[in-house]
Chains A and B, each alone.
Chain A
């Protein structure tokens, strides 16, 4: 396995390369590179052919419908699923799901999953020798509201080690899965927390070569979402691709 320094050098070289292409007039990369060598698992799993560009047809301009048939309101509170409260820093994570023109994505499914406060997932293949918390599963779901808003009540996840290279640690993050009003807007991503010292070292976060794009994954501490003597608040808006894929549906068809 490589050292952190070797991985960091690879990360910096790719970032410098991306910066040069922007300086030469290219547009900044919005998404991570699929072929991102510092993230070793991408080596054998990225397609080598260009993606084939096609126009979305009707089925791709709509999306599966989710609603309160699928998700109970209780599922957005990750702290009440067990007999007692989980250990950790109580947080609220709230924001909007929007399309590329800033329009709310209403009545759509948001799923999250995360490690516990010690950095351990409730997953049989998670080998990290940190304690499980009997009062925390780390899975939540919500349906977005009229303004595209969502809110989760949870605890702050811990950073955790992985085996990409020697002494590799993931910055604390919450996994998010999102649907838009068109199937082409599907997004799975991760939300991070401000000022994490592991950002510069993490090849998953850094797989997005443009520093401004990486910033979009960081939730903002928001004091207005903090509850006195109880919990801290973070705000994170998620912007899906669009709007070309959604314009067929128009404004009236969201209910």
Chain B
């Protein structure tokens, strides 16, 4: 068959393939019962699909205010999890969240506030970012983290706080909702100049606090 797909750069779903799809159908008709779509595990084979170039670099490492946020993911036996992928979402140094596109094609200048990193075979992940400012009065600076992995039927949300912000920790609403004896699981550890370690324990001793947003 001759390749007739010359119209792939035209806009709209109707331009896909050699033959026009019926786009009027796509625009309107609804499928399903309108209730929430269930989650399913990310599985083991996302490695060639979800990671993208420099997904772990929210800012270039040579920037003066760059920090390293890194750690290891562990399972309930204390074994490293070699097939997890993490996303972070955060405000910039002034506490403002970005509305800029371009996370998937980082240009080295635009701060989008979003990053994605898979762990290596040792279960270790690493991001280069900036320390966020507080997003509102009384909130402690924090980075949102989403964890996906084989064996997780549903992703897990958590948050990383920074060890030096002790005053703000006292007034932060998320930390206040966490039982006192588990709060330390949300605190990163300073492990070098501009470097913070945040290990994630999915289960068992020192199990990381995971969050559920009431919605």
Interface residues of A in 208-231 (CB under 8 A from B): 208, 212-217, 219-220, 222, 224-225, 227-228, 230-231
Determine how close the nearest CB of chain A comes to the CB of B168; give it in whole angstroms: 14
Determine how close the nearest CB of chain B comes to the CB of A62; give it in whole angstroms: 6
Asked if A111 contacts B151 (CB within 8 A), the reply is: no
Interface status of B171 (Cβ within 8 A of chain A)? no
Known contacts A49-B209, A59-B135, A66-B104; A235/B29 CB under 8 A: yes
Known contacts A44-B77, A69-B102, A239-B32; A244/B156 CB under 8 A: no
Interface residues of A in 179-214 (CB under 8 A from B): 182-184, 186-190, 204-205, 207-208, 212-214
Interface residue from B38, B42, B148, B208 paired with A30 (Cβ < 8 Å): B38
Interface residues of A in 235-250 (CB under 8 A from B): 235-245
Known contacts A44-B77, A92-B21; A123/B136 CB under 8 A: no
Determine how close the nearest CB of chain A comes to the CB of B137; give it in whole angstroms: 12
Interface status of B45 (Cβ within 8 A of chain A)? yes
Asked if B101 contacts A231 (CB within 8 A), the reply is: no
Asked if A54 contacts B101 (CB within 8 A), the reply is: no
In the complex, chain B residues whose CB is within 8 Å of the CB of A214: 38
Nearest residue in A to B9 (C-beta to C-beta)?
A: A73
Interface status of A1 (Cβ within 8 A of chain B)? no
In the complex, chain A residues whose CB is within 8 Å of the CB of B13: 76, 94, 145, 149-151
In the complex, chain A residues whose CB is within 8 Å of the CB of B15: 73
In the complex, chain B residues whose CB is within 8 Å of the CB of A66: 101, 103-104
Interface status of B93 (Cβ within 8 A of chain A)? no
Bound Cα distance from A46 to B210, whole angstroms: 11
Interface status of B43 (Cβ within 8 A of chain A)? yes
Asked if B103 contacts A64 (CB within 8 A), the reply is: yes
Nearest residue in A to B19 (C-beta to C-beta)?
A: A227
Interface status of B11 (Cβ within 8 A of chain A)? yes
Interface status of A24 (Cβ within 8 A of chain B)? no
Interface status of B194 (Cβ within 8 A of chain A)? no
Asked if A56 contacts B213 (CB within 8 A), the reply is: yes
Interface status of A77 (Cβ within 8 A of chain B)? yes
Asked if A47 contacts B8 (CB within 8 A), the reply is: no
Asked if A187 contacts B104 (CB within 8 A), the reply is: no
Interface status of A60 (Cβ within 8 A of chain B)? yes
Chain A-chain B contacts (Cβ-Cβ < 8 Å), number: 307
In the complex, chain A residues whose CB is within 8 Å of the CB of B17: 77, 79, 90, 92, 153, 227, 230-231
In the complex, chain A residues whose CB is within 8 Å of the CB of B149: 45
Interface status of B195 (Cβ within 8 A of chain A)? no
Asked if B211 contacts A153 (CB within 8 A), the reply is: no
Interface residue from B25, B99, B139, B144 paired with A65 (Cβ < 8 Å): B99
Interface pairs (30), CB distance under 8 Å = A30-B35, A30-B36, A32-B38, A44-B75, A45-B76, A46-B153, A49-B210, A58-B136, A59-B91, A60-B144, A65-B99, A66-B104, A69-B105, A74-B9, A125-B45, A139-B48, A151-B16, A175-B46, A177-B42, A177-B50, A186-B87, A186-B155, A188-B42, A214-B38, A225-B21, A225-B22, A230-B18, A237-B32, A238-B37, A244-B214
11 new A-B contacts, CB < 8 A, other than A36-B153, A113-B48, A213-B38, are A45-B203, A53-B211, A57-B174, A92-B17, A113-B50, A121-B45, A124-B47, A190-B43, A216-B33, A217-B40, A225-B21
Binding site for A on B (CB under 8 A): 5, 8-9, 11-13, 15-19, 21-22, 25-50, 75-77, 79, 81, 83, 87, 89-91, 97-105, 112-114, 135-136, 139, 144, 146, 148-157, 173-174, 177-178, 182, 202-204, 207-215
